[in-house]
Structure formats: structure tokens, C-alpha cells
């Protein structure tokens, strides 16, 4: 299947992680039926999965992030990167310029961003039609507020970039995730908003597991009749410390006392995994639930396990 022969094209710019990938691929797949091609850019190491699904990657020449070693594992939001550049926006503008050049070169009809503020800045600065896929907690119209989600304000850096390109400034950083059309792949009960404009649409949960080829589970470690456990412990470290590592150790130690086989989905991070389970453990970056893989039990923190 090739997706490069259509006259219309959409660019998807995603944040890293499995969630944005599996909720945007079904949209791209439907666009193919409508004669619209799609190209993707995604943070992290999932470019190979994009290609395996049959889509092109957007060529980006990003400068070095300049982030301290290990800092990414403690950051839950891509807005951390923006807030780091409130005092000096030069490096941030260089990143945005890389996105602008990629968009200007290929001239897609629409830019779609999924919690990628750098690409959103580029789209807004170019005044190109911009669709966002987001969650209520990233939007200015969110109903629930919590100090637990607080990070240093990224607004000064955002408006320095917009001023550099001579476009309208934003009243809050959250408006960067509000596009000409904003899609929330959820339902109001899970992702509540209030006083949102007509451009915000709930489109229900999206799941495209079957569109991403993955290696089959290692069936050699599994024994017929023995329960299978899928365990996702989260990030090894976050803002409160080595939370994921502690969960991995506690969970695997407890599972070692049971007659089970275990698949640990690391999310692409490195964990110090105890060897208490021996050959009854499979460690993979990603594992998704599918007709061919239905574990008896799922243990997870949140986010990257898709059922």
C-alpha cells in the first residue's frame, strides 16, 4: 500500500509515545479512502512503526534539544521544553523554523498536531489550516483544574516566537493546542470541558492497534493453561522520583510468587528488572491487546496500554 500518489496531503505532527500513534493512524487510513495522503513526524523512536504501517515520514532537520541528560524521563508534558526557553527564545525559534521549512517545502493542505507545541507554533506562524487532536487537560476550555499538573508557564516563550513571525499573540499557553478545529478523542464524561467553542468536537475513543505491525509475543515462554499478565509500570522516573522503577520492582517481586507468565511493556525506557521470574518473563518496548494477544490480567499505571 502506498500513500504518496494523491494530489492532496495532510501532515501529522505527533508527540512521542504510543497513544498519539494509534489514535491518528485510523484518521490517516480513512483519509486514504477520500484520496488524501498523509505523512507523519513523531517524537521518540516510533518512526519505524509509521513506515511499517505504510506512511511516509516528514523530513525534519531539528537542532539539538539542549536538554540535560535524563531530564526527559521526568517530564510529562511537551510544554516543559517551551518553558525552558522563556529567557532565551533563540533555540526555540530554531526548532520552530525546522517545522516551518518542512511545511513550506511540501505545502500540505492541512497540518494536524497531536500535543506537539512546536509544530503548532509553526502552523500558527504560517497561518496554515490547523487541526489539533488533544485532551481536555491541555485545553483552555478544560473543566477540571489541578495544581498537580502545574509547570512553569510557557506563554512568554510562545509569544516571543509568534511575535518573531508577526502573528497574533496568545492569551494563554493552552490556546496553542486549540486549532481551527480541535478534536477530542474521548467523551465528555472522561474529558470534561466548559464554555468550549463550536470548533471543539468530541469524536469518541479511537484505536488503531491493528494498523501497526508489531512482533508477535514470545509464545515459547508461555505455557498452555498458565495465566498471562501484561505489566506496564510507567516511566522509570518522573517528578516524584523513581516511581516507575519502584512499581516495576514491587510488581515483579509479587508476580514471582505466582504461577504466571509476564510481559513487561517498558514504553521504550530502561528498567532494572529483577531476575526473579527467570524465563517466564518477556520484556518488550510495546505490546498491544489484539485478537491474537489477550492476557489474563493487565497491570498498568496509565496511558500506553491499549485495550
Alpha-carbon torsion (307, 143, 75, 22), positive or negative: positive
Q: What is the mean pLDDT of residues 31-51?
A: 88
HSE toward the beta carbon, residue 258, CA cutoff 13 A: 14
Q: Give the mean model confidence (pLDDT) for residues 100-107.
A: 94
The grid coordinates listed for 87 are: 529567557
Q: Are residues 219 and 163 in the same domain?
A: no
**Residue of higher predicted confidence among 193 and 44:** 193
pLDDT tens-digit series, residues 273-304:
877 767 788 888 877 776 677 888 988 876 54
If asked whether residues 93 and 199 sit together in one domain, one would say yes
Of the two residues 20 and 80, the one the predictor is more confident about is: 20
> Residues 192-220: pLDDT tens digits?
999 999 999 999 988 777 777 666 666 66
User: Do 233 and 144 sit in the same domain of this protein?
Assistant: no
**Are residue 55 and residue 170 in the same domain, yes or no?**
yes
Question: Number of folded domains in the chain?
Answer: 2
Q: Are residues 277 and 163 in the same domain?
A: no
pLDDT at position 15: 85
State whether 116 and 135 are in the same domain. yes
Range of the domain at 143: 8-210
Q: Are residues 53 and 115 in the same domain?
A: yes
Residue ending a domain, choose from 140, 175, 210: 210
Q: What per-residue confidence (pLDDT) applies to 283? A: 86
Q: How confident is the model at residue 57 (pLDDT cuts 50, 70, 90)?
A: very high
Quick one: 87 and 128 in the same domain? yes
Q: Residue 81: is its pLDDT beyond 60?
A: yes
Q: Single out the residue of 262, 293, 294, 289 nearest to residue 276, CA to CA.
A: 262
Q: Which of 210, 228, 261 is the last residue of a domain?
A: 210
pLDDT at 4: 42
- In this predicted structure, the answer to whether residue 109 has a pLDDT above a threshold of 60 is yes
Q: What is the CATH number of the domain that holds 43?
A: 3.40.50.2000
- The answer to the question of residue 118 being in a domain is yes
Cell numbers that stand for 112 in this block? 494536524
> Which residue among 210, 230, 245 closes a domain?
210
pTM: 0.77
Q: Please check whether residues 72 and 44 belong to one and the same domain.
A: yes
Q: What stretch of H or E contains 11? A: strand 8-14
Q: State yes or no: pLDDT of 72 exceeds 70.
A: no
Grid look-up 523554523 returns 97
pLDDT category at 305 given cuts 50, 70, 90 is very low
Amino acid at each position: 500500500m502506498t500513500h504518496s500518489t494523491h494530489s492532496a496531503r495532510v501532515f501529522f505532527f505527533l508527540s512521542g509515545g504510543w497513544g498519539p500513534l494509534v489514535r491518528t493512524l485510523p484518521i490517516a487510513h480513512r483519509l486514504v479512502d477520500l484520496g488524501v495522503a498523509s505523512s507523519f513526524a513523531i517524537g521518540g523512536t516510533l518512526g519505524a512503526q509509521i513506515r511499517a504501517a505504510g506512511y511516509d515520514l516528514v523530513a525534519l532537520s531539528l537542532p539539538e534539544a539542549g536538554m540535560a541528560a535524563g531530564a526527559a524521563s521526568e517530564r510529562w508534558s511537551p510544554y516543559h521544553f517551551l518553558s525552558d526557553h522563556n529567557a532565551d527564545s533563540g533555540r526555540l525559534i530554531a526548532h520552530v523554523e525546522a517545522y516551518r521549512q518542512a511545511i513550506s517545502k511540501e505545502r500540505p493542505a492541512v497540518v494536524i498536531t497531536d500535543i506537539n507545541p512546536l509544530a503548532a507554533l509553526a502552523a500558527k506562524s504560517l497561518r496554515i489550516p490547523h487541526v489539533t487532536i488533544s485532551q481536555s487537560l491541555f485545553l483552555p476550555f478544560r473543566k477540571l483544574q489541578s495544581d498537580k499538573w502545574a509547570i512553569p508557564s510557557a506563554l512568554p516563550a510562545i509569544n516571543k516566537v509568534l511575535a518573531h513571525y508577526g502573528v497574533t499573540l496568545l492569551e494563554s499557553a493552552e490556546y496553542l493546542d486549540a486549532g481551527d478545529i480541535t478534536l477530542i478523542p474521548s467523551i465528555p464524561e472522561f474529558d470534561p470541558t466548559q464554555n468550549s467553542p463550536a470548533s471543539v468536537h468530541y469524536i469518541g475513543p479511537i484505536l488503531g492497534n491493528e494498523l501497526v505491525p508489531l512482533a508477535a509475543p514470545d509464545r515459547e515462554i508461555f505455557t498452555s493453561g498458565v495465566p498471562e499478565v501484561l505489566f506496564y509500570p510507567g516511566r522509570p522516573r518522573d517528578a516524584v522520583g523513581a516511581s516507575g522503577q519502584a512499581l516495576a520492582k514491587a510488581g515483579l517481586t509479587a508476580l514471582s510468587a505466582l504461577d504466571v507468565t509476564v510481559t513487561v511493556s517498558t514504553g521504550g525506557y530502561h528498567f532494572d528488572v529483577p531476575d526473579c521470574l527467570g524465563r517466564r518473563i518477556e520484556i518488550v518496548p510495546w505490546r498491544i491487546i489484539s485478537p491474537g494477544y489477550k492476557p489474563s490480567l493487565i497491570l498498568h499505571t496509565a496511558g500506553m496500554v491499549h485495550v
